[in-house]
Amino acid sequence: MTVDERVAAMSARIPVHVSRCIPIYDTMAAQKDINLLMGFDFQEYVSITQATPTKGRTFPNFRPDRSTIRPSDGYWVVGLDRNSDVVLTNAARLYDLSNGNFAEHLRSLRAFYSDPIAHAHVDDRCVCMAATAEEMTGKIAYNGDLWVRRDLRGQGVPRMIARVTHRVSYAMWAPDFLCALVARWRVNKGLPHYPHHESGGAILRLVKEDIAEDNWLVWVTGRELKGELDDCCKDIFAAPSLGVW
């Protein structure tokens, strides 16, 4: 069974109105004794992240109280250690920008709020100066809310989780672009899973969220993503084993 067929089969047999979680497998995670769990219910995701010590508040674009995310348009991945404590979080969502571009989406604050008029503060701003963001149209997969517990930092965990999110995003959406907004220090350290980067991605201020950041835009094109995955093992989903979760 291909990645696309397995994702479709799993999504088809899990009702939309209930929590939707499936275990997923990655060799690098297994080597670090991390169990990966994938879900589609962002209410559940927020309840997990809020209860996770030292993790900052989840951005509004991944919170149902600020952004509407249909089950087919978003997913999250949580890593658990042997004690079932959360050691990493990450989330992804799809923006349909067939009639616009990512720069516009950021500046209008619709990337963060489904209804900026209702939810944004009068002083909220997002300045996007990255020229490539103007060219990013169509299906844009956005990856964010990455957090890794301190004792696992510096061990390649972001690259490991990127292996999973790149494959799942391609399987679910075959996007035109997969992108993220990251701090400059992350770009300086190297992001091999995002071959392109540009400054001025999002100079962001969200007053009620206490967010003030100056982030770079990093991305991989849909064609590059497909090429990357053609070189990888297609069968990324492990069959759920009874008694594990």
Give the pairing of strands 86-97 and 138-148: antiparallel
Angle between helices 157-173 and 3-12 (to 10 degrees): 80
Q: What is the pLDDT of residue 232?
A: 59
Residue 61 burial by CB count (10 A; 0-12/13-18/19+): exposed, middle or buried?
buried
8 A C-beta contact, residue 152 and residue 87: yes
Q: What is the pLDDT of residue 227?
A: 87
DSSP annotation string for 165-206: HHHHHHHHH--SEEEEEEEHHHHHH--TTS-EEEEEEEEEEE
C-alpha to C-alpha distance for 190 and 156, rounded to whole angstroms = 11
Does residue 216 surpass a pLDDT of 90? yes
Q: What is the pLDDT of residue 153?
A: 84
240 in any annotated domain: no
Tell me: the pLDDT tens digits for 42-96? 999 999 999 999 999 999 999 999 999 998 999 999 999 888 899 999 999 999 9
Give the single-character DSSP code of 55: P
Number of domains in the chain: 1
List for the chain the helix, strand, coil content (%; round to 5). 35, 30, 40
Beta bridge partners of 36: 24, 79
Angle between helices 222-230 and 157-173 (to 10 degrees): 110
244 in any annotated domain: no
- Domain of 25, CATH number, reads 3.40.630.30
40 in any annotated domain: yes
Beta bridge partners of 38: 22, 77
Q: What is the pLDDT of residue 162?
A: 87
The torsion angles phi and psi of 183, rounded to 5 degrees, stand at -70, 155
- Among 34-38, 66-70, 137-141, 239-243, name the most confident range: 137-141
The torsion angles phi and psi of 197, rounded to 5 degrees, stand at -150, 150
10 in any annotated domain: yes
Tell me: the pLDDT tens digits for 102-154? 999 999 999 999 999 999 999 999 999 999 999 999 999 999 999 999 988 88
- 113: containing domain: 3-230
54 in any annotated domain: yes
239 in any annotated domain: no
C-alpha to C-alpha distance for 241 and 245, rounded to whole angstroms = 8
241 in any annotated domain: no
16 in any annotated domain: yes
